[in-house]
Amino acid sequence: MKHRRIPKRKLAITGGSVLAVMAAGLTLQSANASDVTQRYPVKPLSVTAAGKLASSLSDELGPDLIGTYYDAAAGSLVVNVADEAAADSVRDAGGRARVVQNTLAELAGARRTLTDKAAIPGTSWAVDPVTNKVVVTADRTVTGASWNRLSEVVEGLGHKAELRKSAGEFKPFAAGGDAIHNDGGRCSLGFNVVKDGAPHFLTAGHCGAVGSRWSASPGGPDLGRMVDSRFPGDDFALVAYTAGGLQPSEVNLYDGGTQRITGAAEATVGMPVRRSGSTTRVHDGQVTGLDATVNYGNGDIVNGLVETSVCAEPGDSGGPLFSGDRAVGLTSGGSGDCASGGQTFFQPVTEALGAYGATIG
């Protein structure tokens, strides 16, 4: 008998930079988790297949599944579970099971506590499946009384949370792939999509308002008009192309080539990803967290983001995050830069596609 699937919670979390960058092939176990003995070899999986297996197991196990991540070196899906009965289901499906200390309810409770007691601009939190904790990060603006309050709240959560400090500052990358311009500045085009049979493209919601006109160069002819924009809460927008004709589903790699995009995929912790943007071009990294919420300050809180180790800078906003030929996300914001490194958050592209009833073009 299958459990009813528990909808993903979106909890307010304040923006900071989580510095835990999960190395490819990480195999170290945290002190509060243990691998369950496998009676059969773990099935080697591609990152796409691992994502599909994670979704299937989530449907089957419900709250007994406490998180997953992809071990790129071993080519396996690591699945955190509540008990050995659930571990049997994971093993039989070809995943690697870990019985962990903190349950899904405990981690959700920790996030609620942080939302209620520590909603401080310049902080972020997300569940880290590798450590089985809620990782809370404060950026460099969190000092004095704010730092003391945050430290006290995290300390009160005991083994369920961990506090980290970032040298950077979390902010939306206001100002992709190819550059797009309006009177307010420059962003990056995300992915070309089709809605109701007509060509559109996705970008970040914080880039502009409904009705704003966009061009491929400053002061150039209209490329399209923004027909919907969602920020804060979410961070995605839809632009209708001015001219007819479908646009190619590909990402500019800034080396004379492009990456064809054939569909969308849900992010998985450990997934290798690339980002293209009009400021810093193409950079690589990994997915390090899911369902993160970031407080950019001034009441701009965004929920349900994909957390990565990829760098980005202003002007890269809205640009595409992809893994192979699959669209994964749209650049939202983060800290650091591509000289010293940093952490970047992305709006899941599947949520935007679902909201608009659109498909990759």
| Active site (catalytic) residues | 206, 235, 317
End-to-end CA distance of the chain: 38
In angstroms, rounded to a whole number, what is the distance separating the alpha carbons of residues 332 and 190?
A: 11
Tokens of 119: 């909603």
Q: Secondary structure of the chain in the HEC alphabet?
A: CCCCCCCCCCCCCCCCCCCCCCCCCCCCCCCCEEECCCCCCCCCCCHHHHHHHHHHHHHHHHHHEEEEEEECCCCEEEEEECCHHHHHHHHHHCCEEEEECCCHHHHHHHHHHHHHHCCCCCEEEEEECCCCEEEEEECCCCCHHHHHHHHHHHHHCHHHEEEEECCCCCEECCCCCCEEEECCEEEECCCEEEECCEEEEEECHHHCCCCCEEECCCCCCEEEEEEEEECCECCEEEEEECCCCCCCCEEECCCCCEEECCEECCCCCCCEEEEEECCCEEEEEEEEEEEEEEECCCCCEEEEEEEECCCCCCCCCCCEEEECCEEEEEEEEEEEECCCEEEEEEEEHHHHHHHHCCEEC
In angstroms, rounded to a whole number, what is the distance separating the alpha carbons of residues 272 and 19?
A: 17
In angstroms, rounded to a whole number, what is the distance separating the alpha carbons of residues 226 and 295?
A: 25
